[in-house]
Amino acid sequence: STQEQPPQICVVGSGPAGFYTAQHLLKHHAQARVDIYEKQLVPFGLVRFGVAPDHPEVKNVTHTFTQTALSDRCAFHGHVVVGRDVTVPELRQAYHAVVLSYGAEDHRALGIPGEELPGVFSARAFVGWYNGLPENRELAPDLSCDTAVILGQGNVALDVARILLTPPEQLEKTDITEASLGILRQSRVKTVWIVGRRGPLQVAFTIKELREMVQLPGTRPLLDPADFLGLQDRLKEMSRPRKRLTELLLRTATEKPEREEAARRAEASRAWGLRFLRSPQQVLPSPDGQRVAGIRLAVTRLEGVGETAWAVPTGDTEDLPCGLVLSSVGYKSRPIDPSVPFDPKLGIIPNTEGRVVDVPGLYCSGWVKRGPTGVIATTMTDSFLTSQALLQDLKAGLLPAGPRPGHAAIEAVLSSRGVRPISFSDWEKLDATEVSRGQRTGKPREKLLDPQEMLRLLGR
Ligand code: FAD
């Protein structure tokens, strides 16, 4: 049985889901060996390419992930695209079990006319740009306009608004890329509208991110007290997090600020505001049709109550002039391989507690299992549960018996296709280069953006 020899386990994706799954497997099975395959040259997924540069404390999880990668029963293989360089059936053949933790790499399209106009970007691409994701490094958004509109009211929308409005000198000591900082320094964006289909009780951002906006130096909030009428009386029905969030919104929108704060707001040169009950209908082109000049919003009203209320168009519309539209209406997973079931509607791999439906020995964790919501801590809990399910199945004899070759077999497959993976010690060299380049300008790191340059640095 598999108990007599080390179970060989493969994890696809090296974001929080992949690393927390690996960590739990190694901790709770004394012989298990885990190989992590990652399509990027570098590890850590959205911790590197999603989390905002001014939230360095969130990135401390990479220390724990590094400990896991350095275990002698774990190996990282970067620059391997599963589904292209190696198939899932090939991995299943080589390992006792395969865990898919490849996240949510697409963005949800708006599906409205004008979406393709220059000046319209997905928040995903914009975030990838300032965080040094190689595929977005050429984005160079034109920030010469006065007003930007962000569609969506979640934490990613607030991250993007904050990066657009933060005084650039405050970003200089973060790991934001030098190229994006250069463009942000030239930015003429003065006003950012954050637009939601529903009302203030349905916003998806959390209090920490809202508080950062309220306190953002050099900016003032633009909130219409009329949007918040009647909310005071409903506070007692709300869950505690929703209540605290709504209280902060109410205070900011309706209370007269004390003198110091009033002076601060009066001096502010930039502003951000929340627009509610507005659903994007069309991106409006400039007269020459060459770029975005505004957005037409359908006015909505709510049906149902509380967090699950939904928006219905009233038939009225409103045009909001702007030179930049960033759609932040969600990430989406892709199908990875025809052999793996995929639910295109929910954008996840159908599973029960992390066991992929109808495919024994195949598991999933993280955003590809649950959908693209939840913070790193949620992803951790979820990944531990998947690992537990796998270890239970192993114990119950439900995984293939007999030895499996693990990475040795995959290495041969990859090599026959001319694919040379990046090891964790390769990453440590790139990491050291980034850190030393950052030191010159007082940044935690200056990220390498060009895969060719990274390979050159590794002597390839
Ligand atoms: P990911 O982190 O996306 O990891 C998936 C990995 O799989 C990636 O490395 C990807 O390259 C790899 N991969 C994809 N396809 C393949 C393939 N075919 N072959 C091999 N590898 C592949 N959470 C917080 O707690 N705090 C925050 O401040 C915070 N900020 C965020 C900001 C943004 C903009 C976003 C989008 C999310 C943020 N989150 C934050 C949420 C957090 O990032 C997620 O909960 C977490 O990253 C999900 O983990 P994951 O491993 O499922 O996905």
Residue 280 has pLDDT above 70, yes or no: yes
Rounded-to-integer distance, Cα 22 and Cα 131, Å: 25
Predicted pLDDT of residue 5: 81
For residue 390, which of 401, 398, 382 has the smallest C-alpha distance?
Answer: 398
Mean pLDDT of 388-402: 96
Distance 156 CA to ligand 1 centre (A): 12
Identify the residue whose C-alpha is closest to ligand 1 atom 12: 13
Residue 435 has pLDDT above 50, yes or no: yes
Q: Name the pTM for this structure.
A: 0.96
Predicted pLDDT of residue 103: 98
Identify the residue whose C-alpha is closest to ligand 1 atom 33: 50
Residue 2 has pLDDT above 60, yes or no: no
Residue 402's beta-bridge partner residues? none
pLDDT band at 207 (very low <50, low <70, confident <90, very high): very high
Q: Which of 76, 102, 368, 414 to mutate to test the pocket of ligand 1 (most atoms within 8 A of CB)?
A: 102
Residue 1 has pLDDT above 70, yes or no: no
Alpha helices in 14-101 (DSSP H): 16-28, 46-49, 61-70, 88-94
Q: Which of 20, 40, 51 to mutate to test the pocket of ligand 1 (most atoms within 8 A of CB)?
A: 51
Write out residues with Cβ below 6 Å of ligand 1: 12-18, 37-40, 45-46, 50-51, 55, 58, 81-83, 101-103, 105, 127, 156, 159, 331, 336, 366-367, 374-376, 379
Mean pLDDT of 379-393: 98
Rounded-to-integer distance, Cα 374 and Cα 377, Å: 8
How many residues does this entry show for the chain?
460
Distance 67 CA to ligand 1 centre (A): 19
Query: Which tokens hold the place of 292?
Result: 């975005």
Identify the residue whose C-alpha is closest to ligand 1 atom 37: 50
Ligand 1 atom nearest 48 alpha carbon: 2
Distance 258 CA to ligand 1 centre (A): 40
Predicted pLDDT of residue 306: 84
Rounded-to-integer distance, Cα 393 and Cα 363, Å: 11
Residue 160 has pLDDT above 50, yes or no: yes
Write the DSSP string, 403-443.
Answer: ---THHHHHHHHHHTT--PBPHHHHHHHHHHHHHHHHTTT-
pLDDT band at 4 (very low <50, low <70, confident <90, very high): low
Query: Which tokens hold the place of 387?
Result: 């690992």
Rounded-to-integer distance, Cα 83 and Cα 85, Å: 6
Cα of first residue to Cα of last residue in the chain, in angstroms, is 41
Mean pLDDT of 256-265: 95
Residue 3 has pLDDT above 80, yes or no: no
Backbone angles phi, psi at 77, to 5 degrees: -125, 95
- Tell me the ipTM for this assembly: 0.99
Q: E strands within 101-245?
A: 106-107, 120-122, 147-151, 191-195, 219-222
pLDDT band at 231 (very low <50, low <70, confident <90, very high): very high
Ligand 1 atom nearest 102 alpha carbon: 7
Q: Which of 46, 342, 367, 386 to mutate to test the pocket of ligand 1 (most atoms within 8 A of CB)?
A: 46
Question: What is the pairing mode between strands 292-303 and 278-285?
Answer: antiparallel
